[in-house]
Structure 1
Amino acid sequence: MSGKVAIVTGSNKGIGFAIVRGLCKKFDGLVYLTSRDVERGKKAVADLEKEGLHPSFHQLDITDNKSVETFRDFIKEKHGGIDILVNNAAIAFKGNAPEPAGIQAEQTIAVNYFSVLNTCEKLFPLVKNGGRVVNVSSSAGQLRNIPSEALRNRFKDPNLTIPQLSELMQQYIEAAKQGTHVPEWGNSSYAVSKVGLTALTMIQQRMLNDRDIKVNAVHPGYVDTDMSSHKGTLTIDEGAAAPVFLAVEADDTVKGQFVWYDKQIASWDGPRPT
């Protein structure tokens, strides 16, 4: 059970795949590439092995509690702990998706917020003191994307708890089902999910300060991936640069922050960096 361990969720393709690649090059330890689909995950590992890199694979579907618990038990038994956890797994509906707003809201928040929260709650007890957690958010996760000032103030309340945040996420889902969400929440389930994830990051940092665990949210940039319908301008390796930086290179003072793809600390509730 010796040696260091890094884990990247949802990493058989796209930014997650490139984060694994970057960690294999810069992290002095074992890197786990995880994915829902075993065959796709193993193929991704084989592709990296062709580059002379040596990640390990384990199945992990963050939407399946049994899968999360199986993975947790495996890591605990084999390694005893986690040094780096990168929460990358996420979904996004396309702009022309036919599903009603309520369905999009429920499914997007379920994966991008509630499943990430559950994964963190299962894995955080294994994160070693001094470890690092990187939550892959988005520019959509900036607070300015929520139209309602009252809601923005609730999200950035320094005393906000996880149960209160989860209740806010549920309130959004109900509003979307009723068709009343746009004036206060905006028209993007993805944006609300990433605002929730960024808010969660701030709460997690407060909760883990006494263990010297650094938790940061990161906007990886507009990356050429399936999720962006390949409209992004950055390569996956460019998108992985800031997450990898936070995982292995950032100063220990960088914690509880929202970090831009160029590694600048950004204002969560202000304008984007120039």
Structure 2
Amino acid sequence: MSIQNIAVVTGGNKGIGFAIVKELCEKFDGIVYLTARDESRGKTAVQELNKHGLNPAFHVLDIDYEESIKKFKDYIVEKHGALRPGARVVNLSSVCGHLSKINGKEPYATKIRGRFSNPDLTEKELCQLMEEFVKAAKDGDHYAMGWPNSAYVVSKVGVSALTRIQQRAFDADTSRPGIVVNAVHPGYVDTDMTSHKGPLTTEEGAVAPTYLALLPSNNDVPKGAFVWKDKTVVSWKKDLPSGYTF
């Protein structure tokens, strides 16, 4: 077993993920794992980075499947040991993951936002919220019940809420102190997902996520926060400041 610093990027074969891998390879003192669902695409991405003198490691990882996650986790533990104190976790959210985007019919939307922002919200309760949206969307009355007209918005608000839950759990884990989790809005980036309509390059979209991944061990701020593309912390509960759109 090799005790080394490691960085793991999910979905690292293209888009923002690929740009994050590239920047981490340039700045991170340790091994960078580019992970992807498809082995061929992942290895092709590694080869592309090799042309620039960068040498990420590769491993298959499909976060939609528990077995894939377990295989990768077992590999990391065997090769590098468990994830350690002082780790940094960056959850890729979106402007759509801001709480204000829960904007269905009132007063029901306010009640839903209150449930999401409950400081004692549990992961089980968060899953219940997501299941409630799925059912309401299937029934066609989601907006009347307070939900927005976008599954993407609800999924990203869920990611932002999960970030807060995870940080609270790590804060309580005295066996692994100093673990910091943040959610980040990378900006509206020119990727396949945005149908290449975003004005930002993938390199620009990687700036804030990489900054959070490389927070020094003696710096635990921001922590459990919603971070904007320019690295500033934005209140998740309050309305977005003027000018904060994409």
- Kindly report which structure 2 residues correspond to 1:1-274, keeping only aligned pairs within 5 A, or say none: 1-81=2-82, 127-147=83-103, 148-183=109-144, 184-209=146-171, 210=173, 211-249=177-215, 251-273=219-241, 274=243
Alignment partners' CA distance in 2, 1:247 and 1:48: 20
- Displacement, 1:8? 0.6
- Displacement, 1:133? 0.4
- Rg: which structure is higher? 2
Partner of 2:81, secondary structure, is coil
- Displacement, 1:47? 0.4
Alignment partners' CA distance in 2, 1:270 and 1:25: 36
- Displacement, 1:66? 1.2
Identify unmatched segments of 5+ residues in structure 2: 104-108
Query: If the length of structure 2 is used for normalisation, what is the TM-score?
Result: 0.91
Identity in percent: 55
- Displacement, 1:272? 2.9
Partner of 2:25, secondary structure, is helix
Alignment partners' CA distance in 2, 1:176 and 1:164: 18
Partner of 2:67, secondary structure, is helix
Partner of 1:129, secondary structure, is coil
- Displacement, 1:154? 0.5
Alignment partners' CA distance in 2, 1:205 and 1:8: 19
What per-residue deviation string (whole Å, max 9, x for no partner) do you get for residues 129-169 of structure 1? 11110000000000001020000000000111110111001
Alignment partners' CA distance in 2, 1:60 and 1:68: 6
Partner residue in 2 for 1:87: none
Amino acid at match of 1:71: F
- Displacement, 1:249? 3.4
Question: Does the CA contact (< 8 Å) of 2:88 and 2:215 recur in 1?
Answer: no
Alignment partners' CA distance in 2, 1:269 and 1:16: 27
Amino acid at match of 1:55: P
Identify unmatched segments of 5+ residues in structure 1: 82-126
Amino acid at match of 2:117: K
Give the root-mean-square deviation of aligned CA atoms: 1.1
Q: Tell me the matched-pair count.
A: 229
Partner of 1:130, secondary structure, is coil
Give the structure with the higher percent helix. 1
Alignment partners' CA distance in 1, 2:48 and 2:142: 43
Amino acid at match of 2:66: N
Amino acid at match of 1:57: F
Alignment partners' CA distance in 1, 2:181 and 2:55: 26
What per-residue deviation string (whole Å, max 9, x for no partner) do you get for residues 41-61 of structure 1? 000000011111110000001
Question: Does the CA contact (< 8 Å) of 2:97 and 2:159 recur in 1?
Answer: yes
